[in-house]
Amino acid sequence: MAKTDKKPTEETDDASGGKSKTGLYIIGAVVIALLIVGGFYLRGSGKPDPNAPKQDPDMAELMKGGPLPDIPLGNANAPYTVIEYASMTCPHCAHFQNEVYPDFKKKYIDTGKVKFIFREFPLDGLAVAASMLSRCAGPDRFYPMIHGLFETQETWAVPGEAGKEKLALIAKQAGFSQEAFDKCLADKKLFDKIVEERRQANEDFGVDSTPSFFVNGKRLGGGHEMSDFDAALGGGKTKDTSPPSG
């Protein structure tokens, strides 16, 4: 897990407390409502023509962000800004976070070359709920929550009631009490902002798959492996342009 000052939430409940079972019923009702409304919004998003060539968005508009405040990671004055749009239930996003991101962070973020920004692009209602929990964790625990959810994605990103119950368990392990979990998922304003963030990315910036990356406003191609970032960030092998000797 990887961001920090504010304590994520209240203390966790006793694992054997009776409140936990009741809370799950409440959460079930809340998340079901989110899934219904979320499904409507997600299906209703405008989609660019998949056969049309992808255009890079206006960099100023992309950098401005959307209804949710960006939580940058790294050097604020870094020469490169990398923006990722991801869904918490997307296995390809989990692959990047678990397999590529550690080396990417070490090579580019920790060295001050890249300012990294994660933005939400949920593909389903459970991804919306996971994104809401990451935001409710607070700015300082935002990235640790995201990384923890991606690391455990296979255990909670499952269909139906099981997914919601397993997500509640992961949240408790991250420091959420049952009450805080319920309150977070009942936050309609936060839900609307996440949905609007997705709509803006889709309609204004041409994001139609996850993960999608932009490097200084330019869409990153390839398979989003380390070699693709090296090529875009000048970290790969460079051609020798020095004049020949003699």
pLDDT digits (tens, 9 = 90+) for 32-91: 444 444 443 444 344 545 556 678 999 999 999 899 999 999 999 999 999 999 999 999
The number of domains in the chain is: 1
Does 166 fall in a domain?
yes
Domain with 118, as residue range(s), is 18-45+59-232
Residue 37 belongs to domain with CATH number: 3.40.30.10
Q: Shortest CA distance to 50 belongs to which of 196, 206, 193?
A: 206
Residue 54 lies in a domain: no
In a domain, 99, yes or no: yes
Q: Cβ neighbours of residue 14 under 8 Å, at least 6 residues apart?
A: none
Closest C-alpha among 2, 13, 7 to residue 138: 7
Rounded to two decimals, the pTM is: 0.78
Tell me the H-state helices in 174-225.
Answer: 178-185, 188-205
pLDDT at 185 over 50: yes
Q: Is residue 9 part of a domain?
A: no
pLDDT of residue 54: 76
Distance of alpha carbon 223 from alpha carbon 197, whole angstroms:
24
Residue 114 within a domain: yes
Lowest mean pLDDT among 31-35, 118-122, 181-185, 205-209: 31-35
Give mean pLDDT, residues 171-189.
96
Residue with tokens 């991101």, as numbered in its chain: 101
